[in-house]
């Protein structure tokens, strides 16, 4: 009997320790209110009210304005993206996002097909995900070995913040609010651009093939969930070189149940200005993002044939549209 009590006490202690390690780590993390990985805000959206999800790297959260799409088309959408996000992490992001939403379409920006296996922000991309099997799979399959302990036990990485934590940060972590920008990060600064430049990626063939396998898995997932899948390349002044782009297009066209669009082919139609519309060579500022989003919204509703689901939280989306109109 005494031995049983000791075992029970040990199990209770272990459970309390694990709970503290997880919950304490979450509480100590800096609140995420811009530049992607804004899962706590995303989870405040009413369930099954989002028509379209956008995923990828900063080329998504700096360029796509869901409130503009709502204003133009009546479609609700959300950006679930992260800095330098790799294809495998995007796959797990989208699976996780579909746990609370049933989108009609998913748009994945694929410039990161030629990224390195691991980029600089693995910890940021994964550590803000909700605790789930998708987060665990992302940690085990898409994170560096040295990152895994901190991703499995966030207190390992964030215990040093206990003395810097503010009451406002605690409030934001415990009581997150809806994001008025729906995952978009608003950039106002302007950098004058010159002619397009082309980027030669030094990539590993094995990593490219692994990325393709994840795109095929995403295609299978979307087919099972009755979601339309679209790959796209965002407008950019530092573009993938023509040879690599030709290969990418050929490979994407071979993925079943998916569409593809290179929006660099529509820059003239967008009316993007080299003097007014760019934050830097790779990201649009607010004026450029509005122009791109206008074209993107038209593509979604007309060419992709996506119509509003009719479940929008009207006060929230009208507030979002009014806010973006002031910018």
Phi and psi angles of residue 159, each rounded to the nearest 5 degrees, phi first: -60, -25
Cβ proximity of 69 and 75 under 8 Å: yes
Distance between CA atoms of 59 and 57, rounded to whole angstroms? 5
The residues with which 79 forms a beta bridge, in sequence order, are 54
218: nearest Cα among 51, 93, 52? 93
27: nearest Cα among 182, 133, 149, 175? 175
Q: Hey, is 47 helix, strand or coil? A: coil
Distance between CA atoms of 30 and 28, rounded to whole angstroms? 6
Chunk the chain into consecutive blocks of 10 residues (it has 327) and report each block's average pLDDT, rounded to whole numbers.
56 48 64 86 97 97 98 97 96 98 98 89 93 96 93 74 74 86 96 88 89 97 97 94 93 94 93 95 96 97 93 96 95
Q: Which two tokens stand for residue 152?
A: 């499995």
Residue 71: C-alpha distances to residues 62, 66, 297 (Å) = 18, 9, 10
Distance between CA atoms of 28 and 160, rounded to whole angstroms? 9
Q: Is 38 exposed, middle or buried (0-12, 13-18, 19+ CB in 10 A)?
A: buried
Residue 203: C-alpha distances to residues 16, 140, 249 (Å) = 44, 22, 17
Cβ proximity of 93 and 55 under 8 Å: yes
Axis-axis angle for helices 167-174, 2-28 (nearest 10): 110
Distance between CA atoms of 318 and 123, rounded to whole angstroms? 34
Q: Is 218 exposed, middle or buried (0-12, 13-18, 19+ CB in 10 A)?
A: buried
Cβ proximity of 277 and 288 under 8 Å: yes
Helices (H), the chain: 2-28, 39-42, 58-61, 66-73, 87-97, 122-127, 133-142, 148-152, 155-158, 167-174, 205-225, 242-253, 267-270, 286-298, 314-325
| 3-state per-residue secondary structure call for 12-27 | HHHHHHHHHHHHHHHH
79: nearest Cα among 104, 101, 60, 51? 60
Cβ proximity of 73 and 297 under 8 Å: yes
Q: Hey, is 199 helix, strand or coil? A: strand
Residue 307: C-alpha distances to residues 62, 70, 80, 169, 257 (Å) = 24, 11, 20, 38, 19
Question: Which residue ranges make up each domain of the chain?
Answer: 33-131+179-325
What confidence score (pLDDT) does residue 305 get?
93
Report the CATH fold assignment for 33-131+179-325: Rossmann fold (3.40.50)
Distance between CA atoms of 278 and 131, rounded to whole angstroms? 36
Cβ proximity of 32 and 128 under 8 Å: yes
């Amino acid at each position: 009997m005494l031995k049983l009590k000791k075992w029970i006490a040990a199990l209770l202690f272990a459970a309390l320790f694990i709970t503290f390690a997880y919950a304490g780590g979450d509480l100590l993390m800096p609140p995420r209110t811009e530049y992607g990985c804004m899962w706590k805000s995303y989870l405040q959206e009413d369930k099954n009210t989002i028509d379209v999800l956008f995923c990828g790297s900063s080329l998504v959260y700096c360029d796509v304005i869901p409130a503009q799409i709502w204003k133009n088309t009546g479609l609700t959408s959300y950006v679930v993206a992260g800095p330098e996000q790799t294809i495998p992490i995007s796959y797990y992001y989208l699976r996780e996002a579909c746990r609370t939403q049933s989108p009609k379409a998913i748009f994945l920006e694929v410039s990161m097909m030629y990224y390195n296996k691991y980029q600089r922000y693995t910890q940021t991309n994964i550590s803000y995900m909700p605790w789930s099997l998708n987060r665990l799979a992302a940690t085990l399959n898409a994170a560096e070995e040295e990152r895994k302990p901190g991703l499995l036990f966030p207190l390992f990485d964030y215990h040093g913040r206990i003395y810097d934590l503010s009451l406002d940060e605690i409030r934001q972590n415990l009581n997150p609010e809806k994001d008025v920008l729906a995952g978009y990060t608003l950039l106002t600064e302007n950098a004058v651009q010159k002619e397009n430049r082309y980027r030669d990626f030094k990539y590993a063939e094995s990593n490219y093939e692994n990325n393709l396998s994840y795109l095929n898995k995403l295609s299978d997932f979307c087919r099972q969930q009755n979601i339309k899948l679209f790959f796209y390349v965002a407008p950019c002044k530092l573009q993938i070189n023509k040879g690599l782009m030709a290969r990418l297009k050929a490979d994407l066209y071979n993925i079943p149940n998916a569409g593809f669009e290179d929006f660099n082919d529509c820059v003239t139609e967008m009316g993007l200005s080299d003097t007014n519309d760019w934050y830097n060579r790779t990201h649009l500022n607010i004026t450029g993002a509005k122009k791109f989003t206008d074209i993107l919204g038209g593509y979604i509703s007309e060419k992709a044939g996506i119509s509003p689901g009719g479940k929008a939280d009207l006060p929230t989306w009208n507030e979002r549209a009014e806010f973006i109109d002031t910018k």
